[in-house]
Structure 1
Amino acid sequence: MRKFSLRSLTVGAAFAAGTVLASSLFSPSAHANNVIVLNSGEATLSLIDEATHQVVGTVPTGKEPHHLMATPDNSSLIVANSVSNNLMFVDPKTGKVQRWVENIEDPYQIGFSPDNKWVVTTGLRLDRLDVYHYDGHDMTLAKRLPLAVMPSHMAFTNDSKTVFVTLQVSGELAAIDLATQQVKWKMKVGKVPAGLWMTPGDKYLLIGMTGADYVAVVDWRNQKIVKTIQTGNGAHNFRSLADGKHVAVSNRVASTISIIDEDTLANVGDITGLMPGPDDMELSADKRYLWVTFRFAKHVGIIDLTTRKLIQTIAVGRSPHGIYFYDRAPVTAPNGA
């Protein structure tokens, strides 16, 4: 069993491994509330002062940082560098590098189970799912599970017994038993399934169909699609609006965001007038503003949820993907897709 200490590699070790931190590019903000954006196309992260909406720093990452995840205690933000095969830990307040963990192969997406006993990474290019035991400090590899084709996004049941994974090329949803690290079942769901969202009470699983223009509603206990919700072309990723009733889905091709009522399972409105390729989304602390990364436009946008209008855009790096707010409480669901 391979063990990976989340405290073992310091910044100094990263330098020795050939990872260079360009200090001239890094200027930490004096404000506590910062927004971190991953620029997957140029291997950097942008640090944005939430109060002024100004980019105050740029930090090199590994190759193709797509997704990020806070540790359960919120002391570190994990950046998953899929092509560099490593995890980069940064201070969520400043974006400064804390440490690196090497030999985590193809971590496209990373997630903690709700009970924080498991860490799961999806290997998009390796057609594999890696499941790790987590003791609060160290990750111990439990199993590498072949899972074709192109596993990408994940969602957990609240009891931490099952993780669901979308397989983009084969058009399937897979259910994995975490205790045994075995595939329980697979089902066909449609063209290019991507983001996943569990509705309250674990009743239904929502799937953004990036190869189509709808969200599939899955009764996962009976392995059946019970409804489709029309959104826009390229339905991709989800973000709760924190009112307990609505979830947003980004439509990457249509360049819109749809709002879904989690009780009625209906699209109750679209946010239009956006830049190309809306992808990952995050809420401001007061829940009034929705920030979104525009994968095809090198910008982050800020949407006023009261008016549902885009009110500002901020230039960042190429292909911005994952986004994180320091002042949010820790979460166990993986951020972004």
Structure 2
Amino acid sequence: MKVWFRSWLFSVAVVVSPVAHADNVVVLDSGEARLNLIDENSRKVVETLPAGKEPHHLMITPDGKTLIVANSISDNLMFLDPVSGHVKGWLQDIEDPYQLGFSPDSRWFVTNALRLDRVDIYHYDGQHFTLAGRIPLEKMPSHMTFSTDNRTVFVTLQESGEVAAIDLPTQTVKWKLHVGEDPAGLWMTPGDRYLLIGMTGEDDVAVVDWRNPRVVKKIHTGRGAHNFRNLDDGRHVAVTNRVDSTISLIDYTTLTNDGDITHLMPGPDDMELSHDKRFLWVTFRFSRHVGIIDLTQRKLVDTIAVGRSPHGIFMADRAPVYAPNPD
């Protein structure tokens, strides 16, 4: 059954989904315009569903009720039930949403248009997305994270080797800083002390003092350092090294590498943490698989075949928790 409604901003088709499954893991196959629903307990793909072209990243809304998939080539957002993974609606004319994120107070919604060299900023009131400003930003705006005071979004520029700080209320660039070759994932250490940046063109993570914009340190990890996931243990954040096919565990209290997880499949990319914090789920971008790492053993213990170029990943049992540092 389909129910149509129209607001002053957009119109969507709402699809009434089947009975929800409480343990789904959603994995995006960016190379096949589809998503996988994986049962967390059996570790098997239970369903595949069509998405738009090149769905790369996804994020839960601040109220935990809707999962947003950004379809970059289709120029739209897809809204899913975060538990069942089934479609609730679409928002058209969001141009090239490669990466997406909400500010911690949920007032701002930001998309990075990687192929268009632009960042778009929207006001968000819990229901509507109203365009506030479009900021040309060369080249290849990729990942993002926010300051906890909700004033600044930080964006990596992969081709120019920079990170940019954008003032959200005025939609202006405050500063740009060259940090190295091919910067990608961003993560803010507790207390907003430092920005950590995965240097995909190098073999390290750059540590940036963003209040006095400068690189203060580089932490050796592995070739192709790319994206982050907080391990919620009060000490470590994981970073994927796509070229070396390893994952480094960074102690963010000492800004050192506390060890690497090796013997992985090629191209580890995005990560999600199980609710009990024991298992780290990883998409292997170059291997058509999702992997499961036992963090107590620091070892890959299972793999699941999916489609071409698996990228973004989301775990349903973490839906009520809103984190301002998207994967």
For normalisation by structure 2, the TM-score amounts to: 0.95
2:249 match: 259
- Give the one of 30, 48, 66 matched to 1:76: 66
In structure 2, distance between residues paired with 1:145 and 1:292? 32
Residue 196 (structure 2) pairs with residue 193 (structure 1):
no
Task: After TM superposition, give the deviation of residue 11 of structure 1 in Å.
Answer: 4.2
Instruction: After TM superposition, list the pairs within 5 Å mapping 1:124-203 onto structure 2.
Output: 124-203=114-193
- Give the one of 1, 9, 12 matched to 2:12: 9
Task: After TM superposition, give the deviation of residue 332 of structure 1 in Å.
Answer: 3.7
- Give the one of 257, 261, 273 matched to 1:271: 261
Give, as a single letter, the amino acid of the residue that structure 1 aligns with 2:180.
G
- Is the 8 Å Cα contact of residues 68 and 334 (structure 1) preserved in structure 2? no
Give, as a single letter, the amino acid of the residue that structure 2 aligns with 1:333.
P
Residue 203 (structure 2) pairs with residue 213 (structure 1):
yes
- Give the one of 294, 299, 309 matched to 1:319: 309
Structure 2 gaps of 5+ residues are 1-7
Task: After TM superposition, give the deviation of residue 334 of structure 1 in Å.
Answer: 5.0
Q: CA offsets per residue over residues 53-107 of structure 1, 9 Å max, x none? A: 0100000000000000001111110000000000000111111110000000000
Give, as a single letter, the amino acid of the residue that structure 2 aligns with 1:139.
F
Give, as a single letter, the amino acid of the residue that structure 2 aligns with 1:221.
R
Please give the secondary structure, in 1, of the residue aligned with 2:97: coil
- Give the one of 279, 282, 294 matched to 1:304: 294
1:21 match: none
2:194 match: 204
Give, as a single letter, the amino acid of the residue that structure 2 aligns with 1:170.
S
In structure 1, distance between residues paired with 2:27 and 2:19? 15
- Is the 8 Å Cα contact of residues 146 and 325 (structure 2) preserved in structure 1? no
In structure 1, distance between residues paired with 2:118 and 2:245? 30
Residue 247 (structure 2) pairs with residue 244 (structure 1):
no
Please give the secondary structure, in 2, of the residue aligned with 1:280: strand
- Is the 8 Å Cα contact of residues 69 and 110 (structure 1) preserved in structure 2? yes
Q: CA offsets per residue over residues 217-244 of structure 1, 9 Å max, x none? A: 0000110111000000000000000012
In structure 2, distance between residues paired with 1:303 and 1:334? 21
- Is the 8 Å Cα contact of residues 145 and 326 (structure 2) preserved in structure 1? no
Task: After TM superposition, give the deviation of residue 108 of structure 1 in Å.
Answer: 0.3
Task: After TM superposition, give the deviation of residue 319 of structure 1 in Å.
Answer: 0.2
4+ residue stretches of structure 1 with deviation over 6 A? none
- Give the one of 78, 87, 94 matched to 1:97: 87
In structure 2, distance between residues paired with 1:256 and 1:265? 18
Structure 1 gaps of 5+ residues are 13-25
Task: After TM superposition, give the deviation of residue 29 of structure 1 in Å.
Answer: 7.8
Root-mean-square deviation over aligned CA pairs: 1.5
Identity of aligned residues (%): 68
Residue 39 (structure 2) pairs with residue 49 (structure 1):
yes
In structure 1, distance between residues paired with 2:13 and 2:233? 39
Give, as a single letter, the amino acid of the residue that structure 2 aligns with 1:261.
D
1:331 match: 322
Task: After TM superposition, give the deviation of residue 266 of structure 1 in Å.
Answer: 0.1
- Is the 8 Å Cα contact of residues 64 and 82 (structure 1) preserved in structure 2? yes
Shift of the 214–60 alpha-carbon distance from structure 1 to 2, 3 Å rule, reads same
- Is the 8 Å Cα contact of residues 53 and 71 (structure 2) preserved in structure 1? yes
Task: After TM superposition, give the deviation of residue 331 of structure 1 in Å.
Answer: 1.8
Give, as a single letter, the amino acid of the residue that structure 1 aligns with 2:103.
S
In structure 2, distance between residues paired with 1:173 and 1:35? 31
Give, as a single letter, the amino acid of the residue that structure 2 aligns with 1:305.
L
